[in-house]
Amino acid sequence: MQATFDERNWLAWLVKVRILILTFLLGIELTIARLTPAPVPLRLFLSTMLFWFTVSLFYVLLLSFWQEYRLQASLQVVTDLVMVSLVVHETGGWDSSLNVLYPLVIIVAGILLPRVWAHLIAALAFILYGTTLELAYYGVAHSYGTTHPELKALQGLIFVHLSAFLAVAYLTGLLAAKLRQVGVQLENASGALEDLQILHENIIQSISSGLITTGLDGRITLVNSAAQKLLERSPADLLGKPVSPLFLDPLPNGESHGHAEVRFDVPGSFRKTVRIRVAAFNVSDRGASGYLYALDDLTEIRRLEREVRMQDRLAAVGRLAAAIAHEIRNPLTSIAGSVSMLSAIPEMSEEHRHLLEIVTRESQRLNGIITDFLAYSRGKQYRFDKVDLVLLLQDTLTLVRHRMTAENTRITVDSRIAVKEAWALADGDKIKQVFWNFCENAVRAMKDGGTLTASIERLGDDWQVSFADTGTGMTPQQTEKIFEPFQSNFEGGTGLGLAVVYQIVQAHEGKVWARSKPGKGTTFILRLRCFDAERASSTNPEPETSGICDPARDASSSPVAAPLARAAAEGRVHG
């Protein structure tokens, strides 16, 4: 790395120091002139100092618009030598004590200019000083000294100053060279440190895992972008704050390099699960100076694990349903027929008739459950076509609004549709059934009124449809089992509505899940693949946009319907 000598700052420093020295010299000479009868031409001296001040101010202005700093430095050094010679002559020549200004000018030249220039300025100072003394000695110029030395003494004084000037120039050159060398090393070290800091910052910010560092007091000192995105908080909300209150569960001990799964609530969103690994920062001879926390988001993984467990249970229920549903319905039909015959006996009392009515009613309810159960477990037929989810959602919400108005439920139905069209390859009737079941659950959860908000937006290659209510909400345990059969949270429900929803969504190779908190409502989220993304991902010819898909047969004629049919027939769920 090539070092750059900041000549402009040095020149600005020179002007300031020059003005300070001139002010100091002017005060000293005026004081001496008042206290001693020195033959100093006060008016001439003041005029010279005023001219020197004016030249210094000119150099200040010149520095602001003239970029030739090397030439400016040479000009200022030569000007200072001339002005020093005038001041030395006016303050007594060989009797003047201001000849110490010559070494100062040489030192400045050694700093601002190349090393050879320091010797040239020393030679020029010797010439000017010697000329000033000799002109006064031989009477060519008026002498303001109080003594008149002999010629040999004068020559000795001049050559002593020559030796002093050369020595100052030599030492200044050495010191200036060392100073520049140290400056180069410092700049190289600073550049390397800056590069290392940039590399460190890039590495920290590029890591996909969230990183949080804290001091020994547990207060956060650094948060990378992945941690900010995971926690959904800005650096201002995290830096300097304790790390433990961010999470609902205790953090692992930093001294044992432990790890744990903890949960935390995202402001304005839902609960997440992360795995945290912690390690201590150890500095030699000082021990631990802080802790490093690495965060990995497990929310989606845990959701998928729950869905896999649910798929296993649903598959088992589906196999069981086909085996026992008919066995239950047959004796149930016999019971209903027998009860009907008994109710026709004229001698039966009113109490017995009431008991028979209870048996009949409960038999009918049980038959309805068995019917729903068979409908859930039996393979379904799907008519896949290019449908607009926006129109399906608007039709469903219109029916829900009319119902809410007719029943005076004090429930408001809002829609937030961010797109004009949302085309997908799906069975429109089945998707309407999904929408209606979501709305039905939301209405049941808001017995005292509330707001149902439905929305559609595009996320990458998927359409996301959300149904959010302001009802009673559910616990995490209820949310985990909400799509399982017979898991109804409402009185009189069979618990098969959302199980059918799950079955329809898995036949469309979509995703569905619920987010809820007790007392804060529930949000059902459905994701279906966009029609254009579906076509782009298929390497086979474009499938027919209309047709019957029967899961019970091998529907290999359609590259989209075939895997859906096989999934429905086998009872697999891709939620």
Three-class secondary structure assignment of 272-305: EEEEEEEEEEEECCCEEEEEEEEEEECHHHHHHH
Q: Report, as an integer, the average pLDDT of 270-291.
A: 79
Tokens standing for residue 278: 């912690």
What is the average pLDDT across 126-133? 85
Per-residue confidence (pLDDT) for residue 452, from 0 to 100: 93
Whether 495 shows a pLDDT value over 50: the answer reads yes
Low-confidence winner among 168-172, 280-284, 291-295 (lowest mean pLDDT): 280-284
CA 6, 12, 17, 23: dihedral to nearest 10 degrees?
170
Whether residue 528 is predicted with pLDDT greater than 80 in this model: the reply is yes
Encoded amino acid at 89, one letter: H
Is 534's pLDDT higher than 80?
no
What's the pLDDT score for residue 6? 62
Confidence bin at 551 (pLDDT 50/70/90): very low
CATH-assigned architecture of domain 382-570: 2-Layer Sandwich (3.30)
Nearest to 186 by CA among 333, 4, 315, 366: 4
Residue 473 to residues 302, 434, 441, 470, 525, Cα–Cα distance (Å): 21, 20, 11, 8, 15
Average pLDDT for 50-70:
79
User: Which residue from 230, 244, 247 is spatially nearest to 297, judged by alpha carbons?
Assistant: 230
> For a pLDDT cut of 90, what percent of the chain falls above it?
9
List all residues 6 or more positions away from 361 whose beta carbon is below 8 Å from its beta carbon.
Answer: none
Give residue limits of the domains in the chain: 7-189, 207-297, 302-377, 382-570
Q: What pLDDT score does 403 carry? A: 87
- The pLDDT of residue 280 is above 90: no
- C-alpha 123: how far from chain center: 63
**Cβ neighbours, 10 Å, residue 471:** 24
Express each pLDDT in 404-414 by its tens digit.
888 888 899 99
User: Contact 481/489 with Cβ under 8 angstroms?
Assistant: no
Name the residue among 436, 448, 442 with its Cα closest to residue 469: 442
Tell me the CATH number of domain 207-297, given options 3.30.565.10, 3.40.50.80, 3.40.50.300, 3.30.450.20: 3.30.450.20
Q: In the chain, pLDDT over 70 holds for what percent of residues? A: 83
Element (H, E) at 263: strand 259-265
- CA-based angle 252:253:256, to the nearest 5? 115
Highest mean pLDDT: which range of 63-77, 176-190, 265-279, 415-429:
415-429
> Residue range 557-571: average pLDDT?
35
Report whether pLDDT(440) > 80.
yes
φ, ψ at 387 (rounded to 5°): -120, 155
> How would residue 397 be classed by pLDDT, with cut points 50, 70 and 90?
very high
Q: Is 378 left (phi over 0), alpha (psi -120 to 50) or beta?
A: beta
Whether the predicted pLDDT of 192 surpasses 80: yes
Rounded CA-CA distance 490/364 in Å is 20
- Fold match between 207-297 and 382-570? no
pLDDT of 26 higher than 70: yes
CATH fold of 302-377, please? Answer: Helix Hairpins (1.10.287)
Q: Which pLDDT band, with edges at 50, 70 and 90, does 466 fall under? A: very high
Q: Could you report how far apart the first and last alpha carbons of the chain are, in Å? A: 58
The dihedral of CA 489, 494, 498, 503: what is its sign?
positive
Query: What value does the CA radius of gyration of the chain take, rounded to a whole number of Å?
Result: 47
Q: What are phi and psi of 207, to 5 degrees?
A: -65, 135
pLDDT at site 567: 37
Sign of the Cα pseudo-torsion (486, 492, 498, 500, in order):
positive
Mean pLDDT to the nearest integer, 565-571:
36
* Cβ 324 vs Cβ 374: under 8 Å: no
List, in sequence order, every residue forming a beta bridge with 525; answer none if it has no partner. Answer: 466, 513
